[in-house]
Amino acid sequence: MAADGRPQDQGRRHRRAADPDPEPATATLLERYHAAMRAELVGLLDELEPKDPAPTLELGGVKPAPVRLSIAERTKRWDLATKLARELATAIDAPRAPGSAGAGATVGGPRSRRAPDFGPD
């Protein structure tokens, strides 16, 4: 391959262009979207906390254990909370830094494209 590269690539940028800033109406919607997800995540985390049981007669000075949701219900809530947290952590509307890994980046780098080395024959 020539040192200058392919003729069709001359003068072409090879980096992915940064995402443009969203329009004001879109930015407002995205802010509301994130606020709704944050509120939902707060509510889910509150539901997952053990609650004090309803007041009853405490005989013998034994305090009843806090009430928790069943494992099946906790699992459902944790799954949803995890999805919300990941979505919030991705910062959909945050612009990417130039040269950062974007959607077109290869997941493992150049090594992942090579055939595996199984050692000497």
The predicted pLDDT at position 93 comes to 45
Average pLDDT over residues 2-23: 72
Residue 74 has what pLDDT?
Answer: 94
Q: Which two tokens stand for residue 8?
A: 């069709």
Task: In whole angstroms, give the CA distance from residue 110 to residue 119.
Answer: 19
pLDDT digits (tens, 9 = 90+) for 61-112: 777 788 899 999 999 999 999 999 999 888 654 555 555 555 455 555 555 5
**Integer Cα distance of 16 and 13 in angstroms:** 8
Total residues belonging to the chain: 121
The model's pTM: 0.52
Q: Tens of pLDDT along 39-68?
A: 999 999 999 999 887 776 666 677 778 889
DSSP 8-state symbol, 51:
B
